[in-house]
Structure 1
């Protein structure tokens, strides 16, 4: 039996289009379609799909409300379709906060350079989500305290996250610091990254002693909104990186979508260089690119963390960092939405620790206190 998929969209044309793509893969099966969020909530309970594809703007009940209802009643992996606009970015981030696990542009020409590539990517995303079992969203006891009053209040849904089913082996917990000294923290991620980054960054104090470079696979229209949202929630400062930014302790710099973020010498802690990158790069931004540039500048004084995500982006950059003496950690399988990128660095023997998401911020703080 294939992975059972429920397709939700108010456009009959788009429902047919997505259904045709899904059923082309023998490992996938469309078991139903819904034209609005209310139908989706009912059909999710009745049909028990393993993955739901969800539009955002729909009559009767919108996609964000539907995600919230489904995750509260019958938790199911949900893939959102979004427009690549400022409003679409905000709505997609709201959907991820409500419990959706991933998103793709609704215009398939924005997904990939050709039709076949776009079809394959959609099928791969659905299969990756369908292999994960999830439980109800929970509010952890470690929910961060509100951010500084000078920042924009964050959405109340931000503390909600989806807990993946536990794997047989849990990641290790770092009980004591290694004693190494650091000057830079790098974090690379993809699918599931927005929630994972939020969970980690909201636990860092305003006086966190190092600059942080964040590489999240995300379209250009989304990264300004994501950086702004994180900045409103976190005690540290978070911004979308700009060419020439001087790195400062207690500040996080999010790689802009559609571009590549590199580190170069300049100032006390280094300077950011933003470039377009080559057209044949699979990821813009790419974790490998940023990690590789940091290996030449900060080397052994760097800590790099690879979080949840599809594929293997970050493995080769992490290999270069490790060769330069850097410390590499990976998120453990149990807490990943997709155990792809962390598995790549772990299987290659590059990471020294596999750490659960709930424990990652504490481990980073303990290790960074010696920097």
Structure 2
């Protein structure tokens, strides 16, 4: 049975184009169309769709307000259509904070020319999110702003710390049928080496997960932190500003040459790559986009750079997200003697990235989202 989709948009043109595009896929079926937020609330209650596409600017009631009402009545995956401007990013973050899981750019030109790339991206996103509908939707703290791309870049031990690496054939994680369970917060596990750097990566569902982890850290947290969240340009600046207001630690979007400092989290800029340089006390390198790499930023690249520069003095943490970005970089961290934690399946929005590292045997510790921040404090303070 196909996933049932409710389309919410005030544009007649966009309504019908979206309906046609969505219905092209045999696993998707548009069961209703709403022209404003108020109508969306009513149709969501009546039709009980598996997933909703939601515009922001609409008459009668905007998309953010509608999402809040919908989510208070029944948890359902919602995919936002967003403007890729700084202001659009702030609005989208508000919408995602209200409970939406993901977003996709609203590009009339791409829709008009019947872009195959758009079709593929939209179909993939809707099916993945609708399939996650049985999972609990995380509480709206900041919430999910995943990557606008798909695919998995790969790197290996030939990775050079101060130049953009060429991706090599991907290393497939070892997948078994045995479930990976979270470890108890009261067990006897301890980090084998005292880290000098904390690197956290995420994709779909990442911003709410990152917010929960970072809000648990005190202002005097002793390690510098690097964050890699799959996001396009403009979104990372708005997201860093939002986190900085919520957290005790400082958070800002990284710029080339930023010094690593205890209690400071540097967020990799969207559309670029972030690498480490341990010289002169440690700093970050922000490198231009490379078309050979699918994720921008890529956790694989940042993990690999951290392994090359800090060897066994890194703690890597892989949170919720689609795909397996981070798995190959995690392998380099482990080979260098560093430690790796991953989020458990039950608390993930999408169990892709953490599953890849866990089932490849690279994870030292599997933790529920609620336990990661407190455990960082316990292990590192």
The TM-score by the shorter chain falls in which range?
0.7 to 0.9
User: Superposed, which structure 2 residues align to 1:1-371 within 5 Å?
Assistant: 1-107=1-107, 115-132=115-132, 133-135=134-136, 158=141, 170-175=181-186, 176=188, 177-268=190-281, 270-369=282-381
SS at match of 2:61: coil
* Cα distance in 2, alignment partners of residues 160 and 290 from structure 1: 23
Write the deviation string for residues 160-186 of structure 1: whole angstroms up to 9, x where unpaired.
Answer: 89xxxxxx8752234343352010000
Write the deviation string for residues 21-51 of structure 1: whole angstroms up to 9, x where unpaired.
Answer: 2111111111111111111111111101011
8 Å contact kept, 1:246–1:266: no
SS at match of 1:67: helix
* Cα distance in 1, alignment partners of residues 17 and 220 from structure 2: 50
Deviation at 1:320, TM superposition (A): 0.7
Deviation at 1:196, TM superposition (A): 0.6
8 Å contact kept, 1:72–1:136: no
SS at match of 1:300: coil
Deviation at 1:352, TM superposition (A): 1.9
Structure-1-length-normalised TM-score? 0.88
* Cα distance in 1, alignment partners of residues 12 and 109 from structure 2: 19
* Cα distance in 2, alignment partners of residues 251 and 6 from structure 1: 41
* Cα distance in 2, alignment partners of residues 135 and 313 from structure 1: 23
Large movers: runs of 4+ above 4 Å: 108-111, 134-138
Q: 1:266 to 1:234 in 2, by over 3 A?
A: same
Query: Any unmatched runs of 5+ in structure 1?
Result: 139-156, 162-167
* Cα distance in 1, alignment partners of residues 280 and 379 from structure 2: 24
SS at match of 1:317: helix
8 Å contact kept, 2:138–2:349: no
Q: 1:335 to 1:258 in 2, by over 3 A?
A: same
Structure-2-length-normalised TM-score? 0.86
SS at match of 2:198: strand
Number of aligned residue pairs: give it. 342
